[in-house]
Chains A and B, each alone.
Chain A
Amino acid sequence: MPPFQTLLDDHAADVMGVLRGAVGRTDADDCFQETFLAALRAYPRLRDTSNLRGWLLTIAHRKAIDHHRANGRRPLPVGEVAEVGVSDPEPGDGIWEKVGALPPKQRAAVALRYGSDLPHAEIAAALGCSPEAARRSLHEGIKRLRKELA
């Protein structure tokens, strides 16, 4: 079993990328901590170490879903509301906000595909579904984004 540090060395950037896509920049750090603490807790009992990346991304995905569920139950804190129109947000950030608003499966599929550049098979492994279902979630997610952005 490799030292846990090698999991961080090899996959921390990808996990952070996925989480930034799924929950946004501000909350990604907290989800990142939760993801790796959960992984560290379970690691010595992990039987199959052949796809550590998929394993970590699965945990990250669950933590992102937990995060959204918790957020859904509490009102969004809003500071001051601007009275005049603000300039367009950075294109990347705006898109990820919309990705973040997708239903969980679609959001995760889009984040894994375009945030981490994962192939369909690995997205399926990370989501715990068939490659066909992963492809479908991705397709639905993209369709919805196109509609919203049009």
Chain B
Amino acid sequence: MKATLERLANRASDEGLLDVAYAMSDSPFGALLLAATPKGLVKLSLPGHDPEQALEDLAARISPRLLEAPARLDEARRELDLYFEGKLTEFDLPLDWQLSRDFRRRALRAIDRIPYGKTRSYTEIARSAGNERAVRAAGSACGSNPIPIVVPCHRVLRTGGALGGYGGGLPMKEALLKLEGVR
């Protein structure tokens, strides 16, 4: 049955019927859910978040034509594995930004430009996104980041250096910063 289902996912993809492909991926922090549209990686769900719920959400917001198709996420998984081993400092993955809009999307794009091993404050992100006073909104853009780790919201800290928040929990944020040699 496994081969049959793989064949189905491949044919669906070839015939343009696979709008969202997903796969689970192991990480040092637990299982990650990865999802991609034909445009690129659209969602990365951190451990501690219910993958079923995430899939239902993707079906509702993007398309119900959603299938488990690990082959479509091979490159993302490969780069994430290397990143967790400390061997990759910049992701080279096409991203699909459709799950965030307006100010949030601008804030996330600013976050996407923070180099490996560097940090920015929420205020700096608010300024880059075009509204220096929208510090809280910058914080909630981080909180709603659909593609954490790859879009490195863990590199955003409070002014003064306090950790702030993280969707995967503060220990994970701290571990990622340590991996990158920040703390």
**Do A and B form a real pair?**
yes
Q: Are B15 and A13 in contact (CB under 8 A)?
A: no
For residue B1, CB closer than 8 A to chain A, the reply is yes
Which one of B15, B18, B64 lies within 8 Å of A1 (CB-CB)? B64
Q: Name which residue of chain B comes closest to A41, CB basis.
A: B17
Q: Are B1 and A13 in contact (CB under 8 A)?
A: yes
Which one of B1, B7, B59 lies within 8 Å of A3 (CB-CB)? B59
For residue A12, CB closer than 8 A to chain B, the reply is yes
For residue A16, CB closer than 8 A to chain B, the reply is yes
Q: A12-B1, A29-B4 are in contact. Are A44 and B11 (CB under 8 A)?
A: no
For residue A129, CB closer than 8 A to chain B, the reply is no
The 8 A-B residue pairs whose C-beta atoms are closest, nearest first, are A3-B66, A3-B59, A1-B64, A40-B17, A3-B55, A5-B67, A5-B68, A36-B8
Q: Are A5 and B4 in contact (CB under 8 A)?
A: no
Q: Tell me which residues from 82 to 141 in chain A have a Cβ below 8 Å from any Cβ of chain B.
A: none
Q: How far is the CA of A43 from the CA of B12 in the complex (A)?
A: 13
Q: How far is the CA of A148 from the CA of B68 in the complex (A)?
A: 44
B162 — which chain A residues lie within 8 A by C-beta?
A: none
Q: How far is the CA of A31 from the CA of B8 in the complex (A)?
A: 11
Interface residue range, chain B? 20 to 34
B58 — which chain A residues lie within 8 A by C-beta?
A: 3
Per-residue interface assignment for chain B, residues 21 to 54, with 1 indicating a CB less than 8 Å from any chain A CB and 0 otherwise: 0100000000000000000000000000000000
Q: List 28 A-B contacts (CB under 8 A).
A: A1-B60, A2-B56, A2-B59, A3-B20, A3-B55, A3-B58, A4-B59, A4-B64, A5-B66, A5-B68, A8-B5, A8-B8, A12-B1, A12-B4, A16-B4, A29-B7, A32-B8, A33-B11, A36-B8, A36-B12, A37-B8, A37-B11, A37-B12, A37-B15, A40-B12, A40-B18, A40-B67, A41-B17
A44 — which chain B residues lie within 8 A by C-beta?
A: 63-65
Q: Name which residue of chain A comes closest to B16, CB basis.
A: A41
Q: How far is the CA of A127 from the CA of B23 in the complex (A)?
A: 35
Q: Name which residue of chain B comes closest to A8, CB basis.
A: B5
Which of A's residues lie within 8 Å of B, judged by CB? 1-5, 8, 12-13, 16, 29, 32-33, 36-37, 40-41, 43-44
Residue from A2, A32, A33, A40 whose CB has the most chain B CB atoms within 10 Å: A40
Q: Name which residue of chain B comes closest to A29, CB basis.
A: B4
Q: How far is the CA of A8 from the CA of B65 in the complex (A)?
A: 12
Q: How far is the CA of A44 from the CA of B59 in the complex (A)?
A: 10
Q: Name which residue of chain B comes closest to A9, CB basis.
A: B68
B164 to chain A, nearest CB (A): 33
Given A5-B68, A29-B4, 12 more contacts at CB 8 Å?
A1-B59, A2-B64, A3-B55, A3-B64, A5-B22, A12-B1, A12-B5, A13-B1, A29-B7, A37-B12, A43-B64, A44-B63
Q: How far is the CA of A13 from the CA of B56 in the complex (A)?
A: 22
